[in-house]
Amino acid sequence: MFHVELSADSTQPPYEQLRMAVIEQVRAGTLTAGTKIPTVRALAADLGIAPNTVARAYRELEADGVLETRGRQGSFIASSGDPTRDIAGRAAVEYVTTIRRLGLADSDAIDFVHRALG
């Protein structure tokens, strides 16, 4: 079942709250591969937000491989499930490759990550 709540008090914009809520439900197994999600208009109406906000979240989720759109059939949780850890792993390898190409120490790389996570 698809259920999302957005917080007006959050520092995150609504599209990001929605995007992260979907990812969290995929990771938790609440939303499984092939689950149909509401249309942009329907979800926007349910949440009381602009359709463009939902559309942006859906586009980003599709770009990340979490959602797949099947034309007139609608949008579904991708058959690959949660690709976010794979994407994060590849980003980490790319980061380490860049740090080493720049001739920086591994300890510098870790310091940069700690500062970025701030």
At residue 34, does pLDDT exceed 70? yes
Q: Across the chain, how many H-helices and E-strands are there?
A: 5, 3
Q: Which fold has domain 14-77?
A: Arc Repressor Mutant, subunit A (1.10.10)
**Do the Cβ atoms of 78 and 65 come closer than 8 Å?**
yes
Average pLDDT over residues 16-44: 92
Ranges of each domain in the chain: 14-77, 83-117
Please write the tens of the pLDDT for every residue from 50-100.
999 999 999 999 998 899 988 888 999 887 756 776 677 778 888 988 999
**Do the Cβ atoms of 64 and 94 come closer than 8 Å?**
no
**Do the Cβ atoms of 85 and 94 come closer than 8 Å?**
no
With a pLDDT cut of 90, the percent of the chain lying above it is 62
pTM over cut 0.75? no
**Do the Cβ atoms of 55 and 19 come closer than 8 Å?**
no
Name the residue type at position 11: T
